[in-house]
Structures are given as structure tokens and as C-alpha cells.
Amino acid sequence: MNSIDSLPPLRAVIAAHGLSARKALGQNFLLDLNLTAKIARQAGDLTGCDVLEVGPGPGGLTRGLLAEGARRVVAVEKDPRCLPALAEIAAAYPGRLEVLNADALALDWAAHLTPPVKVVANLPYNVGTELLVRWLTPPAWPPVWSSLTLMFQREVAERIVAQPGGKAYGRLALLAQWRCSARIVMSLPPEAFSPPPKVHSAVVHLEALPEPRFPADPKLLERVVATAFNQRRKMLRAALKGLSPEIEDHLRAAGLAPTERAEQVPLEGFCALARSLAG
């Protein structure tokens, strides 16, 4: 395995610090530094950018981001066992790595970053989807970040890029595609990780659009989509009846058949329905 810097191979780092991956923290470590550098490159040009990384573990992707020229990396790591390994990376890249021993779900990470900002992470499986939803639903748009390059279980990645008509299509696809262009840029087999997970993984790249694809109130759109897919097997007139006594009229005004089901409705249709309900 070729090294991307003067630091030891990741297996040696893990052995030196006794860093066995913990299932409770959703940890699966990537050990191939060529692979972590390749993931870093999927985020595009990092020079001049601050990068937020969540769940760096022993720092394989962190090293890739720094070697690819990131101006600064802010790495949020909940597991204190990983801090000594990350401190070694910080020493090798003076002034370019800030490590925060914190829970990413409870942290005001934007306070530690200077735009332009990119988010690049091999997300812990147990918080990945929740973090993505938070990044996609900030108080104002455009967001602090310009792009998200994130690793998920393959099934979650497919839900993010899904199109109408299939089982993978749902709330996550609509939230992501309303305000971003989203595509799967890499696939990784279980054996790329230590320990190998039981599922395949994929890297998704999301580029923030200057404004949403179609006008709609964000909170109302979220409510409409969540309600529709909460009972996705029902026809829209039944699944959405709690939103308005005149739901069939609103559906027709949005160009939707009341007998359609949620997974048949494109993003533009949900936005039109949200506008109709807003009055």
C-alpha cells in the first residue's frame, strides 16, 4: 500500500493506538489510503476550502483530504480513543487540522469553518441519514456548504438519487433533489473496510443549487412529502386527507390525480401541491 504522506500505514496506526472499530458508534474503518484519497478527490478542488469531516476515526480520509490540498479540515470525532491518532496527523499538517471531540448532532460546526465549505465524510452508519437531512434543511438557502461528498450504505445512497416509480423513491430523494444535484460517484465492497460491514457502501456527491428547482415553502413541502410517504401504499387522497378537507381539489390544482400514489409523483408535483395548500 502506497502512503500519501510521511505518516505510518493505517493498520500500524490502528495497532499502535488499539483502535478496534465499535459497532455502537457505527464505525467501519477504511484502511487503504489510495482509496481515501480517491474519495477526497470526488469532492472536487479542495484548495482554498475548509472541509468538515464527521467520524474521521483513525484519520484515513482526513489524510486524503489534507494531501489533496484542503485549506483546513475540521474533523468531528465522538470517540476519544481516536484523538491521539488524529493529533499525529495534526502535527504532520501544522495549522491545517482542527479536531473536535464532540457529537456531530449536538455541535454548531459552522462556527468553526470559514467559507467556502465542503463536507466530506465516511459517515457513521447510525447517524448518517439524520445528518444528511439536517444539512439539506438549513434555516436559509443557499447553505454554508457548497457540496456534500458522503459515504452511506448502498441502499441509502440509492434512496438519495432515486427517481419516481420505484421503492427507493421517497422523502430522502425529494429533500436531496429539490435543492441539490445528486449522483453516486463511487461504490465500495464490504472488504474495503475493517471490520467488513454486511452491506455494500457508496459515495454520493451532492452539489448545492443556488435556489430550489421549484418554488415551495420548505416546511410545508417537508410536511406534504412526509405525510404522503408515511402511507405510501395508499392513494394520495387517502394518505393526505389530514392536510386539508379539500385535498382532492388541491391535488387536481397541482395537476395530480387523487388516485395516484406517492411514489408516482415527481418532485415538481409535490412542490405544486405544497403551493396549492399554502393558498
C-alpha cell at 85: 491518532
Buried-state track 238-258, b at ≥16 Cβ within 10 A, e below 16:
ebbeebeeebbebbeebebeb
Please state the pTM of the whole predicted model: 0.94
One digit per residue, the tens of pLDDT, for the chain of length 279 reads: 446 788 999 999 999 998 877 777 667 788 899 999 999 999 999 999 999 999 999 999 999 999 999 999 999 999 999 999 999 999 999 999 999 999 999 999 999 999 999 999 998 878 999 999 999 999 999 999 999 999 999 999 999 999 999 999 999 999 999 999 999 999 999 998 888 888 999 999 999 999 999 999 999 999 999 999 999 999 999 999 999 999 999 999 999 999 999 999 999 999 999 999 998
Task: Check: CB of residue 10 under 8 Å from CB of residue 33.
Answer: yes
- Map residue 160 onto helix, strand or coil: helix
CA atoms within 13 A on the CB side of 166: 10
Q: How many CB atoms lie within 10 A of CB 96?
A: 17
